Amino acid sequence: MPRPRAPHLQREVTRHGRAVWFVRVGKGPRIRLTAEYGSPEFAAAYRAALEGKPPTRSSQARAGSLHWLIEQYRESSAWRGYSLATRRQRENIFKQVIASAGHEPFTRISEATIVTGRERRRDTPFQARHFLDAMRGLFAWASEAQHVRIDPTRNVKYPKLKSGEGFPVWRESDVAAYESRWPLGTRQRVWLALLLYTGLRRGDAVRLGKQYVRDGIATLRTEKTGTPVTLPLLPPLIEALRAGPIGELAYICGANGKPMTKESFGNAFADACRAAGVNKSAHGLRKIGATRAANNGATVAQLNAIFGWSGGKMAALYTQAADRERLAREAIGKLVVANESATSIPAPDHKVRAAGRES
């Protein structure tokens, strides 16, 4: 279940979709908290606000240290340009970096240092990739701001993922098993339908509700990239929503009818999957949606529009796979010499003897 909000803590959403936090005790003044929600700085500012003290920004980072550089980066427009989800993810990486090397002069951070950080996370390839993404962003900004002359991350390669290390893709049999376990009229069926028939990430799926829908079309900006997506509600989704149950503020809700955070929803959806005998995740369900669309002839531009991607790289993975399958079916006959008659070749006899053995 979602954790209860701390006393006197208020949340507002600006017209740009950004969450802003305030502390107000009784009828006293509202004190805005500017630190990242959930961070130690946020907790300290919250405690100070409860005591009626104005928020202060103290730092123990020594000028010229890697910790200091990260603090400067957090104040930059480059950092604020990232989505809240991306900043949270990279903030976790920076906490690790500050703990292990924050005291080091940032000018001494070399390519070998970055490689060492990547290798320290080699057993968790996705964490290694997130580490590289965070450090690339930091030093790209530092280079532009002329804090460093050479970007130490420039030539460091991402770790290669072994086959099967990504999020397992759902199969149609998995969808059937889940729907059999969770029929129409259950919250869990609403969860599947909303993810499968919108292609939304779980962070966006938990936000979607009636307020985002007009004339049967949902419109919202994605949490991760801020990309606007326009999604007509498909009949299977409409059927699931009508059967419910759904929440007042968001279609996806917990047992108490209230909205869920993406973390609590991810855990609850994983439990529902396991109950159906499907040991897979919400992200893998997004993949089968992209596969379905590509196999049905969706173009790169159409996949980008549905899934909020940009650049064509992700969409191309699905369209190329679909094209290979289609081209193989169309071209397999070309393996036969033109003057050979396929009708003269007998069908395979599965009872023939194995090579070198008597039947």
Taking CA atoms, 120 is separated from 112, 166, 207, 290, in Å, by 12, 20, 36, 33
User: Is 154 within the bounds of a domain?
Assistant: no
- Average the pLDDT over 134-149 and give the result: 94
User: Is 337 within the bounds of a domain?
Assistant: no
Q: 321-340, pLDDT tens digit by residue?
A: 556 666 677 767 767 766 65
Pairing between β-strand 228-232 and β-strand 19-23 as defined by DSSP bridges: unpaired
pLDDT at 316 over 90: no
Comparing 32 with 353, the larger pLDDT belongs to 32
pLDDT at 100 over 60: yes
Domain check: are 270 and 185 in the same one?
yes
Please state, rounded to an integer, the average pLDDT across all residues of the chain: 81
Domain check: are 198 and 277 in the same one?
yes
User: Is 346 within the bounds of a domain?
Assistant: no
Percent of the chain beyond pLDDT 70?
Answer: 80
Domain check: are 268 and 185 in the same one?
yes
- In total, how many domains does the chain have? 3
CA atoms within 13 A on the CB side of 322: 19
Q: Give pLDDT, residue 60.
A: 65
Give the count of beta carbons closer than 10 Å to the beta carbon of residue 182.
Answer: 20
Domain check: are 195 and 232 in the same one?
yes
Range of the domain at 292: 172-323
Per DSSP, the three-state class of 192 is: helix
pLDDT at 217 over 80: yes
CATH number at residue 247: 1.10.443.10
Comparing 71 with 357, the larger pLDDT belongs to 71
Domain check: are 138 and 176 in the same one?
no
User: Is 352 within the bounds of a domain?
Assistant: no
